[in-house]
Amino acid sequence: MSKTKLTINRNGSIKIEGDFEIIDADGNVYGLEGRTALGLCRCGLSKNKPFCDGSHRNAFEHDALAFDLPPVKAK
């Protein structure tokens, strides 16, 4: 199985590409109709959450710059 790739778009959505499924809080699977790429909302303005509908344009700013997380703490 290939890696799933998530791209945090500047001032926009999270683009997800690859082999994936999306499940709601109750365990129900979203019907993605064979899509292998789509945008997930991260601004909270989409009327089609969790999917991006472009509502963020001119209303959401965030420079997505990669950084390293601290090491995982041992339990």
Cβ 52 vs Cβ 13: under 8 Å: yes
Please give the Cα distance from 33 to 74 (Å, whole number). Answer: 40
pLDDT digit string, tens, across residues 19-45: 999 999 999 999 999 999 999 999 999
Give the C-alpha distances (Å, rounded to integers) separating 41 from 7, 14, 20, 45, 60: 12, 7, 16, 8, 11
What does pTM read for this prediction? 0.85
Q: What pLDDT was estimated at residue 1?
A: 54
Alpha-carbon gap, residue 51 to 30, rounded angstroms: 11
